[in-house]
Amino acid sequence: MRGPAVEIRWKALAAAAVGGALLLSGCGGGDDDKGGGDASQVEVFSWWTGPGEADGLNAMKADFEKKNPGTKFVNAAIAGGSGTQAQAVLASRLQNRKPPDSFQGHAGAELLDYIKQGQIEPLDSFYADNNLRQAYPPQLLEQISYQGKIYSVPVNIHRSNMLWYNPKIVKDAGLSGPPTSVAEFITALKAVKDKTGKVPLSLGAQWTADHLLESVLLGDLGTDAYNALWKPGADWSGPAVTKALTDFAEIMKYTTAEAASTDWQGASKAVVDGKAAFNIMGDWAYGYFTGSAPNGLGKKDGTDFKYAASPGTDGTYMWLSDSFTLPKGAPHRGGAIAWLKVAGSKEGQDLFNPKKGSIPARKDADKSLYKGYLEYALNEWNKPGIKLAGSFWHGVYASKRWHADIDAAVGLFLQSKDVGKLQSALVTAAKNNAQ
């Protein structure tokens, strides 16, 4: 999926920014999926309940049922964007030793928590039996490995730093196009408010503010400085971070007052419905916009909406990847392994990703299936000179604890609007969690 130059940059970035988070010492677990186990059913736990993502899951489910007619598929998806609700339910189940047969997890530092607690098994034999090492980019495998073992099966690559906008509202505001810097973005938000009366920036539940924050940090700091924030000893107290957080606070003034009452779908829908000018959301929004009813909106790219990299981030791909695991003690182990085969297959990923609004994690996908934005995403992913940054909110750079600490800091900020307190809380979170 990438040329050699991009691969080298990814490896350097992973080593520097993640700091070998998934290669630390700790519990290793057994190896791994030998023995079939009960294949009478499979309970697949995820947070894919929304339009686009639910369609993609259903497409993989149909493929699974075709290939495994004797296995009952139990969709245990829990609603809530970014997995905030689902992960709380999952934590309780794992603690009580009642795991699903397979669960969704973001590739990267997020998996470290499950691995160190001995809650998921390595999949090296599974990869060998299904020739998966050759199918995936080696740098992606590095991100889901721990002590040299692989712990999940990625199904896709998403881009976090995307700006979705309504072209008519942008034109009515007197803007020539999407803003290309954070400063231009703030100016554009003010123009929309003053000249159109529309919502400048739609926002949803609190996690969408966390998602916005990572794009503002990347846009103001630049790729190298953003990536450096996740290294051990990083300085979150400096003036550059203060400037980024001040800009974040200013941007938040132009968001919807009723933000907390809706999830990302409602916030994104406001753009294509002509109620809001801008929305910063991952590219799963594309699957929602263009998907067919009843789950999709059936909107037209270029007419009902347009897109660009979030302000100040053009040339950088802020990535994340959804993957599936094999929990220790999975009650239907055979069913789980059969599911992982579908999730890791070329056929499964080509059924899933065009509907989800993501590009495949495998290198051998059928590129002819990826149109519109998805063709753009594949080209960006492979573009010479593209820079890479990991999404902290979606599990690449921040462990679950660090993720929770950042979310708590943002939640307090949404009440107090105090930039100083927000920065202080982020400094503390980094000191407590950076590895």
Structure confidence by residue, pLDDT tens digits, 81-127: 667 789 889 999 999 999 999 999 988 888 888 999 999 999 999 99
Is the residue at 381 inside a domain? no
Contacts of 307 (CB under 8 A, 6+ apart): 162, 163, 164, 165, 286, 301, 373, 376
Q: What is the pLDDT of residues 197-220, one digit of tens each?
A: 999 999 999 999 999 999 999 999
Give the structural domain span for 329: 4-158+322-376
Is the residue at 152 inside a domain? yes
| Mean pLDDT, residues 190-200 taken together | 97
115 with 199, same domain: the answer is: no
**Pick from 14-28, 119-133, 235-249, 407-421: least confident:** 14-28
181 with 222, same domain: the answer is: yes
Residue 66: name the closest of 331, 291, 338, 362 by CA.
338
* Model pLDDT, residue 81: 65
48 with 71, same domain: the answer is: yes
Q: Is the pLDDT of residue 223 over 90?
A: yes
Is the residue at 369 inside a domain? yes
356 with 234, same domain: the answer is: no
Is the residue at 417 inside a domain? yes
Is the residue at 385 inside a domain? no
Residue 282: name the closest of 309, 300, 260 by CA.
309
> Considering the chain, what percentage of its residues have pLDDT values greater than 90?
71
Give the number of domains in the chain: 2
Q: Is the pLDDT of residue 20 over 50?
A: no
* Model pLDDT, residue 260: 64
| Averaged pLDDT of the chain | 89
18 with 92, same domain: the answer is: yes
Contacts of 142 (CB under 8 A, 6+ apart): 11, 14, 22
Is the residue at 388 inside a domain? no
Phi, psi for 205 (deg, rounded to 5):
-60, 170
Q: How confident is the model at residue 311 (pLDDT cuts 50, 70, 90)?
A: very high
**Pick from 57-66, 334-343, 372-381: least confident:** 372-381
Burial class (CB in 10 A: 0-12, 13-18, 19+), 155: buried
138 with 196, same domain: the answer is: no
153 with 286, same domain: the answer is: no
* Model pLDDT, residue 435: 59
- More confident position, 209 or 24: 209
Is the residue at 386 inside a domain? no
Most confident of 6-15, 286-295, 297-306: 297-306
pTM comes to: 0.82
Q: How confident is the model at residue 258 (pLDDT cuts 50, 70, 90)?
A: low
95 with 216, same domain: the answer is: no
131 with 270, same domain: the answer is: no
183 with 311, same domain: the answer is: yes
Q: What is the pLDDT of residues 262-272, one digit of tens each?
A: 789 999 999 99
* Model pLDDT, residue 85: 85
56 with 178, same domain: the answer is: no
**Pick from 50-54, 64-68, 205-209, 252-256: least confident:** 50-54
CATH number at residue 83: 3.40.190.10
282 with 181, same domain: the answer is: yes
Q: Is the pLDDT of residue 18 over 70?
A: no
Is the residue at 177 inside a domain? yes
